[in-house]
């Protein structure tokens, strides 16, 4: 009996560490992804320099990626010069990432009680794929760029799925008789 309890304590601590680590990974990913939405002009200029095409117009690019980077850079420059307020949408995109990241602090504090956050995150990650393909096609985004966008959903899903699975395991250790997450069956 004592040995079982000791094993459960060790397993609980290990699961909590894993959940915290992957939740932090997800939070940091959201924050970094959001932060990149703000300095887009600078990022595109830097990308063009890295690709060695900084002084080229978009029509002179030699590869699909270079052409795309230059095309987006030139469009953003034109838009920012004539309509700088459009960039405010990117600022709000970043804010959305930051707000979602803050919500995941609840999962850090109490993963079992806030297991719904992992479910919410997994649903959002799955929805990235059709969203990128549908709206990417409507907006004329190249397929390889849509695949890059989809990779964020896939890469985000993996740690969230693991966290959700480990959270269920934590709940089972704490409530061995329960068949579902204990908070889901408690009355208000």
The answer to the question of residue 137 being in a domain is yes
Say if residue 187's pLDDT is above 60. Answer: no
The answer to the question of residue 187 being in a domain is no
| Number of domains within the chain | 1
83: exposed, middle or buried (Cβ count in 10 Å: 0-12, 13-18, 19+):
exposed
The answer to the question of residue 24 being in a domain is yes
The answer to the question of residue 188 being in a domain is no
Radius of gyration of the chain (CA): 22
Q: What is the mean pLDDT of the chain?
A: 91
Domain of 67 in residue numbering reads as 2-182
Instruction: Tell me the per-residue pLDDT of 130-175, one tens digit each, with 9 for 90 and over.
Output: 999 999 999 999 999 999 999 999 999 999 999 999 999 999 998 8
The answer to the question of residue 158 being in a domain is yes
The answer to the question of residue 49 being in a domain is yes
Residue 188: pLDDT band by 50, 70, 90 thresholds? very low
Say if residue 61's pLDDT is above 50. Answer: yes
Query: Angle at the Cα of 86 (from 28 to 63), degrees rounded to 5?
Result: 70
Residue 178: pLDDT band by 50, 70, 90 thresholds? low
């Amino acid at each position: 009996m004592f040995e079982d309890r000791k094993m459960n304590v060790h397993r609980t601590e290990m699961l909590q560490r894993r959940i915290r680590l992957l939740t932090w990974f997800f939070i940091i990913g959201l924050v970094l992804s959001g932060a990149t939405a703000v300095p887009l002009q600078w990022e595109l200029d830097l990308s063009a320099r890295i690709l060695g095409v900084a002084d080229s117009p978009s029509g002179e690019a030699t590869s699909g990626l270079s052409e795309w980077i230059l095309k987006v850079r030139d469009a953003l420059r034109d838009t920012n010069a004539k309509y700088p307020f459009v960039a405010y949408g990117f600022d709000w995109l970043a804010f959305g990432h930051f707000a979602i990241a803050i919500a995941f602090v609840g999962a850090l504090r109490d993963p079992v009680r806030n297991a719904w956050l992992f479910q919410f995150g997994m649903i959002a990650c799955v929805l990235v794929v059709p969203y990128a393909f549908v709206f990417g096609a409507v907006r004329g985004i190249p397929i390889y760029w849509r695949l890059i966008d989809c990779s964020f959903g896939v890469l985000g899903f993996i740690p969230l799925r693991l966290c959700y699975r480990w959270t269920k395991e934590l709940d089972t250790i704490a409530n061995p008789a329960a068949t579902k997450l204990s908070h889901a069956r408690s009355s208000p």
